[in-house]
Amino acid sequence: MERAVLRDSNVGVLLNSLTPREQLVALARVLHREGYDDHTTGHITYRQDDGTFLVNPLELTWAELTCSDVMVMDRDGNALDGRHTVTPAITLHTEMHRARPNTRVALHGHPRFATVWACAHRVPPIYDQTSAIAGSDVAMYSEYDGTVEDIANARGAVEALGNHDLALLANHGVFVVADSILQAYFWASTLEWRARRAWEVEQIGGGVPLRDDVVAQLHAFVRSNIHRLPQFEAAIRAEMRSDPLMFN
């Protein structure tokens, strides 16, 4: 696996043609379809080169987000541009971006299956190849004393995340950080896939998880070839067919 190299192709042409605002909309739309669908909860921030952030608004579900709905905020979560509201729970993001200033994307949501494992205070095992895409390291923040707009709760979650890219927030949901929208898609979608597959395997009495070395090889392969993997663009095309006006 570690010696495999994917050929160059037209993968990436669509994604590279999209602005950061369009990429954020695409990410929200696609992940909603993949289980990040807890009504209007959940937020995505994208750090722009000028130090401001794009963020989805409080009032809309990820499924209905369009480019004209995306807000711009400063590093403290204050709205700079847009016709909607920046969620009060953005504290989780502002604290993370302070702790890890080079991080490009942060994502918080309550996906269907990963939240079940978060409520059980358990990290789901990796049972199949797709579940290994984001690697094995998932932090668990076990102290849930209230919503993450409270600065102490937000800082606790960020400290628990440490240098991890993925975290389960006990009795709450998930937190994902990434270097790009593309990477955020793979990490967030894989975490939910992993949680669903593990739940399914447990329903038949359990299974045998993949070995750690196999998971590490698969994760390394994805990191090396992520710009050649077609999954995200295929999902974007499906959303565009469903709603040709999504980038308006």
CATH code for the domain of 44: 3.40.225.10
What's the pLDDT at 146?
Answer: 61
Alpha-carbon separation of residue 168 from 94, 113, 240, 246 (angstroms):
18, 11, 31, 30
Residues 88-98, mean pLDDT to the nearest whole number: 94
110 within domain boundaries = yes
86 in any annotated domain:
yes
pLDDT of res. 16: 96
What is the signed CA dihedral for 146, 152, 158, 161, rounded to 10 degrees?
-60
Q: Domain count of the chain?
A: 1
Asked, for residue 3, whether it belongs to a domain, the answer is: no
Which is it for strands 105-109 and 79-81: parallel, antiparallel or unpaired?
A: unpaired
At 10, the pLDDT band (50, 70, 90 cuts) reads confident
Q: Is residue 6 part of a domain?
A: no
Report if residue 208 sits inside a domain.
yes
pTM, two decimal places: 0.94
Query: Domain for residue 247, yes or no?
Result: no
5 belongs to a structural domain: no
Residue 223, both tokens: 């990191």
Task: Tell me how far CA of residue 137 lies from CA of 39, 158, 184, in angstroms.
Answer: 28, 15, 15
Q: In this structure, is residue 1 part of a structural domain?
A: no
Q: Is the pLDDT of residue 1 over 60?
A: no
pLDDT for 137-175, tens place per residue?
A: 999 998 766 665 678 888 888 998 899 999 999 999 999
Distance CA 242, CA 218 (A): 32
Read off the pLDDT of each residue in 76-88 and give the average, rounded to a whole number. Answer: 97
Q: Which domain holds residue 227?
A: 13-240
With 0-12 CB in 10 A as exposed, 13-18 as middle and 19+ as buried, what is 58? middle
Q: What percent of the residues of the chain are helix, what percent strand, and what percent coil, each to the nearest 5?
A: 45, 15, 40
What was the pLDDT predicted at 2? Answer: 44
Beta-strand relationship, 105-109 and 139-141: unpaired
What is the per-residue pLDDT for 152? 82
Closest CA to 93 of 183, 176, 197, 190: 176
The mean predicted confidence, pLDDT, of the chain is 94
In contact, 42 and 36? CB cutoff 8 Å: yes
Tokens representing residue 55 in the block? 């963020």
